[in-house]
Structure 1
Amino acid sequence: MKFNKPKALCLLIALGLQTNAIASNTSNIENIYFNKNSVTSNHLASIDSDGNIFGDPSVFMEDDEYILTSEEWYKIQLFGKTALSLPVTEHDMRSQFKMTDDLEFDGTYVDLLASYRDIYDIGNKWLAPNGYREQMVDLSSQLSNYSLDVVTDAEGLQVLTQYFIEAALNDDQAQFESLKSAITKKVERLNEQVTSYSDDAKKLDDELTNFILILDKEQSKLKIIEDNNAELLLNDGSAIQANIDRLIVEKDQLNEEYAHWVKVSATTPTYGWIFPLGTIAAISTAAAGTAEALQLKAKLDAKKQEIEDLSKEYDHTSAVYSSWKLATKNITDTKGSIADALNSLSKLKGAWHDISNQLEFVLVDIESITTEQVINGDDMISAAFGTSGAVSKIVKKWQKIGDSADAWNKNAYITEQSAHSFK
Structure 2
Amino acid sequence: MSEAATRPRIVFAPFGRHTAYLLAGYLRHVLIVTSVLLAIALTIDLWPQFQDVAAKGSGDFGAVWSVVRFSALRTPGLIAPLLPFATFIGVLWTEVAHTQAGERMLVWNSGRSPLQCLSPVLLAGLILGGADFVMDGYMGPASMGIQMVERLGRDGARLDRAKLSDPAWMTAGGGILRAQIQYGPPPVLRNVMFFARDAGGRLTEVDVAPMAVWEEGTDRWTMQNGQYWKAGSKEGVSRTVFAGRATHQSMTPFAEKSVTLAIDPLWFTWHNLQPQYIPVPVLAKLAASERVPDAHGQYETRLHVVLSEAVLPGLMALLASALSMLFMAYRTPAPALVGIMFCGYIAHFGTKACLIMGQNGYMDPVIAGWLVPACLLVVIATVFALIEAQRKGKIAPSAG
Could you tell me the TM-score, scaled by structure 1's length? 0.27
The structure where strand makes up a greater share of residues is 2
Could you tell me the TM-score, scaled by structure 2's length? 0.29
Q: Which has the greater radius of gyration?
A: 1
Larger RCO (CA within 8 A; separation ≥ 6): 1
